[in-house]
Amino acid sequence: MGPGQHIDSYVLVPAERNAGPDINEVYKAAMAGSPVAQFQMGNFFLDGLNVRKSDRHAMEWWEKAALQGYAPAQYYLGQMYFVGEGIKHDFVKGCSWIGSAARQGLRDAAAMYAARCAEP
């Protein structure tokens, strides 16, 4: 259930098994452009919460939120580029996304950027 794909076209895990936010409501908000909801959709896929676990789908949702300037999504996306999960490893892109989140004041991102990306 990547961005642009109808929710009914993805096999969902029974909701009783995983308590949490209503994925249908989050999905509607994500499709309407909410970066917070897009980030949450990415988290659903990363954790396999009410959907099949998929790093690729998590990355797709986080990228939508990150492109809107949502710092937590930028941070998560950067980490995925660092480790190469869900996408090809790309240190430069990882630093770029982590740096964007750091410039917005996300402390974990600032620490990671200083440790991994900053010039000595």
pLDDT tens-digit profile of 81-101? Answer: 998 876 889 999 999 999 999
Phi, psi torsion values for 119, nearest 5 degrees: -70, 140
The 10 Å Cβ neighbour count of residue 11 is 8
Whether the predicted pLDDT of 11 surpasses 60: no
Task: Kindly state the DSSP code that residue 12 receives in the 8-state scheme.
Answer: B
Last residue of some domain: 68, 87, 105?
68
pLDDT of 21: 75
Q: Do residue 90 and residue 116 come from a single domain?
A: yes
Q: Do residue 29 and residue 63 come from a single domain?
A: yes
Contact 100, 66 (CB under 8 A): yes
Both tokens of 110, joined, read 């600032």
pLDDT, tens only, 21-80: 788 999 999 999 999 999 999 999 999 988 999 999 999 999 999 999 999 999 999 999
**pLDDT band at 19, cuts 50/70/90?**
low
Whether the predicted pLDDT of 5 surpasses 90: no
Q: Do residue 64 and residue 93 come from a single domain?
A: no
pLDDT of 15: 47
Q: Do residue 62 and residue 92 come from a single domain?
A: no
Classify the C-alpha dihedral 50-52-55-57 as positive or negative: negative
Q: Do residue 115 and residue 80 come from a single domain?
A: yes
Q: How many domains does the chain have?
A: 2
Whether the predicted pLDDT of 13 surpasses 60: no
Q: Do residue 8 and residue 61 come from a single domain?
A: yes
pLDDT of 3: 52
Q: Do residue 19 and residue 42 come from a single domain?
A: yes
